[in-house]
Structure 1
Amino acid sequence: MPEVIFNGPAGRLEGRFHHAKARGAPIAIVLHPHPQFGGTMNNQIVYNLYYAFAERGFSVLRFNFRGVGRSQGAFDHGSGELSDAAAALDWAQTISPEARACWIAGFSFGSWIGMQLLMRRPEIEGFISIAPPATLYDFSFLAPCPSSGLFVHGDKDRVAPMKEVTGLIEKLKTQKGIAIEHAVIPGANHFFENCVDPLIAEVGTYLDRRLNNPTRTATPTRTERLPPPMSKDD
């Protein structure tokens, strides 16, 4: 996947971008876990989400938040990272001005940032939120949630206990006009250790249903080395 560098609010941001060949292909932005606990764009879940979208015809961007890898700046406790995500979407839209739709996906800290971006950008029509840390961050801004999407959670998650996440999702399900789905991966902890494959399969099934079972598109061979699992401290 091509390496890219684009301008963010605190300096240059490092990313990987797959540009779909189809005219008007949708855009997806994938956000990584907490920068101070080993989260990067090469997290194995972020990596696999990236390809899940690419294989379904999306132009996809994953990138390092400020202060991670070759991205400039320093960790900003969420506020700056939200600005980074907005800049990433702006850049992707500049590269793909005819994109017919936008999606946002995030894992853990990245899901919190992604859902905030969803509230600010009406063009985002779908989301994938994996292991949202509802006990660590305030998700009350999702009132109402403007787009339909999928939450995925492990039933052994101790970082974001299932009870708290389920409470958040049940509140969102009461809203009219959107469809919130919730998938639980049996045996999975917050990091989906030994459960990444069923997680990505669940996401793929959801995307196929939302996209009316698109034909898989040929993508470049995954030449990047699959990164090791992230730190358990996230």
Structure 2
Amino acid sequence: MYLSRVEIDVNNRRKTKDLTHLGAYHNWIEQSFPEEIAANERQRHLWRIDQLNGKKYLLLLSQEAPDTEALARYGVGGSVQTKSYDQFLNGINDGELMRFRLTANPVHAVPQPGKNQPKIYPHIKVDQQKGWLIKRADKLGFELIKKQQSETIEDVNDLAFDIVSRDWPRLARKQSRGAKLSRVSFEGMLRVTDAVTFRQTLVNGIGKEKAFGMGLMTVIPV
């Protein structure tokens, strides 16, 4: 696995004028793997947009290293960085305390009378969005730890994580009704409970709409 990052050249509107919807970012990612396109064998690429110290970055996790020139298409010159992720993944152990960041699409399924398939709706409220992650943590190989001052966990605010941004980016330019996706970014502390499962979580992502910048979790050991 490879983890790559490029600073998006937000000050050059002529260069980045196409980046007005999630579909454009998806296309940028796909075009950064020309060998996959030639072989007609597309791999899943997890990615997200990060804001850091006034700068905007594209973060990308992929099975193979991307083409540096293609990844730099909308980036600041010389800002592309790619490194192997395998050593880090293999070094994760049970019980390890980590700081995490996750951008995801929290949704829930509502059964429809007379239909076999439920309808998918986004979670709107902050507590619902936090609860979405809390409910999935155990199966994903980690636990969200409580705040130091919280002896018991009575609600979502007793846990050491929070939502740092929420928005509704447009999915594609030509969507007739302007379809948008709920995008929520979480930051906080977690403890690894099952290292094997947790590694797969980092590699496979969390939740839906992974092709459109959702699901990528990154962690830093504490």
TM-score scaled by structure 1? 0.26
* Structure with greater Cα Rg: 2
TM-score scaled by structure 2? 0.27
Higher relative contact order (CA 8 A, sep 6+): 2
